[in-house]
Amino acid sequence: MSDRPLLVEIINALEEQGLDRDEYQLQQVIDVEALERLVDSTGPHTDLEIWFSIGELRVIVTRSDVAVIKVS
């Protein structure tokens, strides 16, 4: 993952999919601070993958990446 906070990574990934910030309330979907602590607590060889949905988008957070895919 980059040096940017996880919240910024998630927002950027959502915006890359065309979702505007006023189209979702991220704090109502997930506790980003708790997610960040969980990701930071894993070791380098941990296969952590956490998914959550915002509308038709699924956010996938791993130790090294944030990805967003459209769910049909």
Contact 65, 49 (CB under 8 A): no
Q: Element (H or E) spanning 12, and its range?
A: helix 6-16
The pLDDT tens digits of the residues spanning 17-66 come to 999 888 888 888 899 999 999 998 988 888 899 999 998 999 999 988 99
What is the reported pTM? 0.85
Contacts of residue 45, Cβ cutoff 8 Å, sequence gap at least 6: none
Could you tell me the residue ranges of all domains in the chain? 6-70
Contacts of residue 59, Cβ cutoff 8 Å, sequence gap at least 6: 10, 13, 14, 51, 52, 53, 66, 67, 68
